[in-house]
Amino acid sequence: MAGTIQSLILTTPSIVTRPFPRRKACPIISRSLRISPSRSISTIIRCCKPSDETHGSGLANGLNWTKPLLNFAADNFLPLALVGGVAFGLANPTLGCLADKYYLSKFSTFAIFIISGLTLHSDAIGGAAKAWPVGVFGLCSILLFTPYFSRVVLQIELQPQEFVTGLAIFNCMPTTLSSGVALTQLAGGNSALALAMTVISNMLGILIIPFSISKFIAVGVGVSVPTSQLLRSLVFTLLVPLILGKVLRESFKGEPLSWLFFPLFLVPWMQVSRSRSLLLMVKPAVFIVAIGMGTLLHLILLAFNALALRSLSAVSGGSKSIFAKKENAQAALLVASQKTLPVMVAVVEQLGGAFGESGLLVLPCVSAHLIQIILDSFLVNLWLRKDRSSNTSKVA
């Protein structure tokens, strides 16, 4: 088709203006020739296009609407898999209980962290070396400072208690595996710094989580957690497959397919299936309160990290401080304020019901995970609008 158009365009004017023999089957051509020779070429092409090409083009145009949906599913596979697992567990718990009976959850947890290792990028981590003080603050905030807010969360009285405990456990987790880096890139922040904080916090976090849960959650709930046993369990079920996935990624330099995240569907599906009878007894108002708690928690983390970054900037050189640099501050604020759901789901599985029904623990954290991404997306959009308006004022 491209060759036909090119040959028609390159044809001499004498050939184009030469009269065509009158054909009854296509009267439009003769009318178009009397209007304008420049318009007649495109009209001829439209009229004389083979029917199978026209049909194929129409079919392709009809399928175009599916591309945005497929792209959306590929970009948001993690939340879709988690929400789908919860919904399927509520709708039909029989298969989920059967899968749990045959220890499929252990396989799923191991697979989750092999895949998590495959998704951890580290190509540009070296670019974060200049901003290492900001990175150190980010790691301390993720792993040491923000878990203290779990004690505040545990002061909330809500039934079932697992909703509160689940959010408190969620607050002790490392940062998200991909959302923080993606939003930092979108905002124009220091993506290398965001990447370094993500990789290191997820590696170290698995070693620190047992102590955080024991200090901030178990004491508040009144439950004794065997810290050393939990640490060994997390090392073999989370850290080892995470490192294995990372080694595989560096060896083959390939992106994993989105369908490999299927284990992320299996774990919440089995957990919710086990707890379905209890979940159905929870009033809708309690779910709304739990969603509000997740929203408030993320806003508190954002405010804490923003205030800490501003304070560090003030005491280390003001506007010339490395903490005051917009790209570094954006990366630290986004990454240090987010918490990862897959690690939380795996940790709850390893706890074996020590803090209550796993489905009740996980459910409010699914909404909290989605809310933090939505809120941070609005924040990034606000930054971009502010940048555009400032650039416009400078040009004016």
pLDDT in tens, 200-248: 898 888 889 989 998 888 876 667 677 777 777 777 777 777 777 777 7
Whether residue 198 has pLDDT greater than 50: yes
319 close to 199: Cβ distance less than 8 angstroms: no
pLDDT at position 345 is: 83
Residues 280-303 have a mean pLDDT of 91
341 close to 177: Cβ distance less than 8 angstroms: no
136 vs 58, more confident = 136
Most confident of 49-63, 66-80, 138-152: 138-152
pTM: 0.70
322 vs 268, more confident = 322
319 close to 182: Cβ distance less than 8 angstroms: no
166 vs 125, more confident = 166
At the top level of CATH, which class does the domain 77-390 belong to? mainly alpha
Angle between helices 358-395 and 77-91 (to 10 degrees): 150
pLDDT at position 141 is: 96
Residues 363-371 have a mean pLDDT of 87
What does the angle CA 77 – CA 340 – CA 72 come to, to the nearest 5 degrees? Answer: 20
Length of the chain: 396
Q: What percent of the chain has pLDDT over 90?
A: 23
